[in-house]
Amino acid sequence: MDYKQLGLKVGLEIHQQLNSKRKLFCHCPTVLRTDDPIFTVERKLRPTPSEIGEVDVAALKEYMRGKTYIYQYYDTNCLVELDEEPPHLVSEEAKIIGVEVSLLLNSNIIEEIQVMRKTVLDGSNTSAFQRTMLISTDGYIKTKEGPVSILTVCLEEDAARLISQDDSTKTFRLDRLGIPLVEIATGPDISNPEQAKEAAYILGQILRATGKVKRGLGTIRQDLNVSIREGGRVELKGVQKLEMIPLWTEREVERQINLVGIKKELNSRGSEKDLELKIIELTGIFSNTSSKIIASSIKKNGDVYGIKLKNFKGILGKEIQKGRRFGTELADHVKTYGLSGLFHIDELPNYGITVDEVNKVKTKLKINELDSFVIVTGKEDICHKALEEVFERCKKAFSGVPNETRDALEDGNSKYSRPLPGRARMYPETDILPFTIDTKLIENIRENLPETFDEKVKGFIAKYGLKKEEAERIVYENPELFEKVSTTLDIKSTIFIKALDLSKNLEKEEGYVTDDETLYLLFEKVSKGIIAKEGIEEVLKRVSKGGDIEKVLSEFSSENSSFDVESAIEKIIMEKRDFIIEKGDRAISPLMGICMKEFRGKVDGSLINKILKEKIEELLKSS
């Protein structure tokens, strides 16, 4: 794609948790909990007008969904998180880190800082707003394709953790609510997908260079703002994987191009004024249906409703992203009301819906040759809201690409989340006075800024004799732990990196974040020869599933004497005697695999290999 011709503009928003001792507006610790909560609180949230008298469109949409919010409370929470007590003064530690990050981004600290309330009605904040404050503006970073402006650097409180949800409720955990975040927003200066990835990487390097940010899954969240000349501004939320940023950008560009094509097709057929919202009940048509979804809904006292979409024949079946059609877009809107999806004319007959049922729907909805229809099933009020949403989205199709917030999907695509918030969501915090940051403090921080990423990499190469790739990986992931391990233990860099990789994989699979204390203890045992390096993976796996690190390490301590290892290997050799005689020295490799599986990392691989070779040689000589 010619991104210059398309007029591609990309901006980044980075939200990074700070590794501070306390939360931003209270003195609770910044720790996440996995045990059962002390109690729960239920809330309903309602939108309020901003200081300019407007209600934010995104907040209003969330309110219309009618959800009840359940909050899990711990003894490491306080009344501030429950919104039963005013916020405390802003964390001094968080302020200092915010200034440090700003200076590293060449950004200008503002004279007076005002804490603001940002309306958020999805349940992730007990107060129905998030507190945020602008720290600095007008910075920049350098990329290979030129500078990227840093519009703002803000400090804000993190949201509560979503634990579960169903049609009517959302359950959140209050442990994360209030953890300090630094939010960095770039200008729309990024002109291609690869530059977006590079800019995100550079920002990540700068944040890691401070040594004052949290690590692990969910501690850094990236959003992409993407637009093309004929399209709209779309915010992609949950862009977690750096390597996926180019694909997410490409797929959003593809989506916008296809929506522009749909706009042109629709306008050649008519206008949005031709659309008329008439919700018709269709339950009787499906009284004996073979559609499992519809039959199940009717059995639960649900009904079937449909609307006519004039001039939309073939539009809902058009692909707008790989594997996703315009009908999928509409289904995303329907699902926000708790329904499982929708059926439309371009995919029927299918899913147990027969030709006869389709024809009866066409007749009842008065479908002409160029018309389409959408049907949903469920409770009347929910179906009406969902179809009204579908109707409004179809009206927007005549204008092209709506400005909206979307959730990034694992395959590079995205799905609708909510309308794009506007200026009406912000208003001043009344419980905290504006404040300034002392100029002497700013200068002191400036004079003691940490090394840049590149400087630290060069230092690690010189000090520890690392390859460039190793140094970059270690400096980006956990330089502090590596320095501690390298100065006190005999651990190779390759083993350190392997443990980091294993920890990261377990974090994705199990949601478990391996803390530095656990890793250091493991490295200590390996360094002393108590745990074989081959046992690192199994130890980490067991700990990630809830095993106590001390108990797991004691199980893997090499209590086996050389005689025990020899006995076990001799047993394997006797069982595979014929195989060894047939294969000769070529039997070593497959038998090594069997032995490693037998010892499960409890014995050093080099010792196993040495004994195995000796025993095989003895057998071959005697034969």
Structure confidence at residue 560 (pLDDT): 42
Window from 57-71, 82-96, 192-206, 427-441 with minimum mean pLDDT? 57-71
Which band of pLDDT confidence, cut at 50, 70 and 90, is reported for residue 561? very low
User: Percent of the chain, pLDDT > 90?
Assistant: 64
Rounded to 5°, angle at Cα 26 from 24 and 31:
75
CB 358 within 8 A of CB 349: yes
pLDDT mean across residues, the chain: 89
Mind listing the pLDDT tens digit for each residue in 317-340? Answer: 999 999 999 999 999 999 988 898
H or E, element range at 118 = strand 115-119
Which band of pLDDT confidence, cut at 50, 70 and 90, is reported for residue 28? very high
CB 151 within 8 A of CB 13: no
Q: How far apart are CA 597 and CA 172, in angstroms?
A: 42
pLDDT at 565 over 50: yes
Which residues in 214-323 belong to E strands, given as ranges?
A: 220-227, 234-237, 280-281, 303-309, 319-321
Which band of pLDDT confidence, cut at 50, 70 and 90, is reported for residue 604? low
- Between residues 185 and 557, which one has the greater pLDDT? 185
- Between residues 495 and 564, which one has the greater pLDDT? 495
pLDDT at 77 over 80: yes
**Amino acid identity at 390:** V
Mind listing the pLDDT tens digit for each residue in 530-554? Answer: 777 777 887 888 888 777 788 877 7
**CATH label, 272-397, candidates 3.90.1150.10, 3.30.1360.30, 1.10.3710.10, 3.40.50.970:** 3.30.1360.30
Window from 226-240, 375-389, 568-582 with minimum mean pLDDT? 568-582
- Spatial strand order of the sheet with 161-165 comes to 39-43, 68-73, 169-173, 161-165
Closest by CA to 441, choosing from 142, 24, 102, 210, is 102
Same fold, 272-397 and 562-622: no
Structure confidence at residue 78 (pLDDT): 96
Which band of pLDDT confidence, cut at 50, 70 and 90, is reported for residue 466? very high
Q: Where are the alpha helices (DSSP H) in 47-192?
A: 57-64, 92-104
Task: Give the three-class secondary structure for 489.
Answer: coil
Length of the chain as a residue count: 623
Window from 103-117, 285-299, 412-426 with minimum mean pLDDT? 412-426
Residue 242 has which token pair?
């750096």
Cβ neighbours for 104, distance < 8 A, ≥ 6 positions apart: 206, 209, 210, 449, 450, 452
Section 426-435 average pLDDT: 91
Buried b (16+ CB within 10 A) or exposed e, 455-475: ebbeebbeeeebeeebbbbbb
Q: What share of the chain is helix, strand, coil (3-state, %, to 5)?
A: 45, 20, 35
Window from 129-143, 144-158, 162-176, 290-304 with minimum mean pLDDT? 162-176
Structure confidence at residue 588 (pLDDT): 81
pLDDT at 438 over 80: yes
pLDDT at 36 over 50: yes
Q: How far apart are CA 452 and CA 459, in angstroms?
A: 11
Structure confidence at residue 562 (pLDDT): 46
Q: How far apart are the first and last CA of the chain?
A: 68
Section 29-46 average pLDDT: 90
Cβ neighbours for 304, distance < 8 A, ≥ 6 positions apart: 281, 282, 283, 285, 286, 294, 297, 298, 375, 376, 377
Domain boundaries, the chain: 3-266, 272-397, 451-556, 562-622
Q: How far apart are CA 181 and CA 213, in angstroms?
A: 9
pLDDT at 286 over 90: yes
Which band of pLDDT confidence, cut at 50, 70 and 90, is reported for residue 52? low
Which band of pLDDT confidence, cut at 50, 70 and 90, is reported for residue 58? low
Mind listing the pLDDT tens digit for each residue in 102-117? Answer: 999 999 999 999 999 9
Task: Give the three-class secondary structure for 40.
Answer: strand
Structure confidence at residue 555 (pLDDT): 72
State how far Cα 247 lies from the chain centre.
15
Residue 128 has which token pair?
């129905």
Which CATH class, in words, describes the domain spanning 562-622? mainly alpha
Q: Which residues pair with 378 in a beta bridge?
A: 303
pLDDT at 563 over 60: no
Annotate 367-383 with three-state secondary structure: CCCCCEEEEEEECHHHH
Section 447-455 average pLDDT: 90
Structure confidence at residue 608 (pLDDT): 72
Which band of pLDDT confidence, cut at 50, 70 and 90, is reported for residue 57? low
Which band of pLDDT confidence, cut at 50, 70 and 90, is reported for residue 59? low
How much is the pTM? 0.79
* Other Cβ atoms within 10 Å of 406 Cβ, number: 24
Q: How far apart are CA 482 and CA 65, in angstroms?
A: 49
Mind listing the pLDDT tens digit for each residue in 215-267? Answer: 877 788 999 999 999 999 999 998 988 899 999 999 999 999 999 999 999 99
pLDDT at 81 over 90: yes
pLDDT at 287 over 80: yes
Structure confidence at residue 241 (pLDDT): 87
Residue linked to tokens 């949005």: 272
Structure confidence at residue 423 (pLDDT): 65
